[in-house]
Structure 1
């Protein structure tokens, strides 16, 4: 169980989101010591300099990638609990982030009641999964489906590249954001198209909509 004066780091590039989370956290745990960062670079600095019990982490922030942030957190402070707080589809992304090392996943569109429930669970037990996600995981275990043409066939990095492609980023912009060579990004793009059996970004957008 997390102690009452838990040290919590809220990482999100939208100030209004950070303000809301801090307010809720203070209601749930008045003695909590809460810090805020707005990008991956600041997150890396804080994790290197200070100890935390819980990080509430957005997945799309400037100056880095989620994978880099998760790797750094696990290396610097392996006991930190990580709650991914994202607008992404829980049924597609939650399990991926858990496999990357997160301890919980919470959608930004959740009700106040569910946000309270998730934050309380993270503070008390150090983990959280919604009932819907638990049922989905149970269902997936029972029905081990191997659909090679679904986005489940994509690796975490390929899914990250796919999401950037549907945002309209060029390969050059993508390479700069992900710190990869343009040829490497091109290879990822080709793999994505091959795995999904598609030929263009508009087709990719259509496929992603089916699973969102």
Structure 2
């Protein structure tokens, strides 16, 4: 049976590079590409995939809504999250959401190849660093003083916090995520309360500190 693979990223050079690597590992596979979240949704509605390599930050939609749609529409499809976000902060979050693997965009060629091979063979992939983090978090789970406050944010709250950090207004966030303006404001208030910050500069400081703290 020919494997069908979807590579979703808004940068053409990334899609081309991944396609070349996939073809080396699976010469007979059928590879398709998506340039944004809407494109992903349209293709998933029409076709079934064995593996989807999914970027986190793309236009025309949100990662959470797209990911949830994939898992509902095609529960057997394996999803490898491909992101430039800090692995130690975000990888476990996406794995808990139901992703089958997390690969950092700065990974070298050998690491990318190993990740793809494991996705094909086992249907899952996590780096050694994340395995160590999972063990460490398990050991420290009862010690509240070591808890990373970013883990208290829901996936939607984390998504909105990232957009706030990037300088996006609540109006833009509401439009992009298809939220009512009051809902977006409520999310912002929850984020500030959970992280005990009063403004965007303090929010940025919290993210900068904890992303650098956990390795």
Q: Does the alignment pair 1:136 with 2:133? A: yes
| Long gaps (5+) in structure 1 | none
Matched pairs, number: 209
- The aligned residue for residue 177 of structure 1 is 176
Structure 1 residue ranges (4+ consecutive) displaced by more than 3 angstroms after TM superposition: 145-149
Question: Which residue in the other structure is 2:188 paired with?
Answer: 189
In 1: Cα distance, 2:148 partner to 2:22 partner: 41
List alignment gaps of at least 5 residues for structure 2.
none
Matching residue of 1:105: 102
Change (3 A) 1:149 1:140: closer
Aligned match of 1:39 in 25, 33, 36?
Answer: 36
Report the equivalent of 2:68. Answer: 71
| Structure 1 position 50 matched with structure 2 position 52 | no
The separation in 1 between residues aligned to 2:197 and 2:140, in whole angstroms, is 26
* Alpha-carbon distance between aligned partners in 2 of 1:204 and 1:124, rounded to the nearest angstrom: 40
Is the 1:149–1:195 contact (alpha carbons within 8 Å) kept by the matching residues of 2?
no
Equivalent in the alignment of 1:153:
152
Residue of structure 2 in register with 1:22 after alignment: 19
TM-score (norm 2): 0.94
Q: How big is each residue's C-alpha offset from its partner over 1:161-201, in whole Å with a ceiling of 9 and x where there is no partner?
A: 11000110111011001111111111111111111111110
Residues of 1 paired with 2:194 and 2:68: CA distance? 27
C-alpha RMSD over aligned residues: 1.2
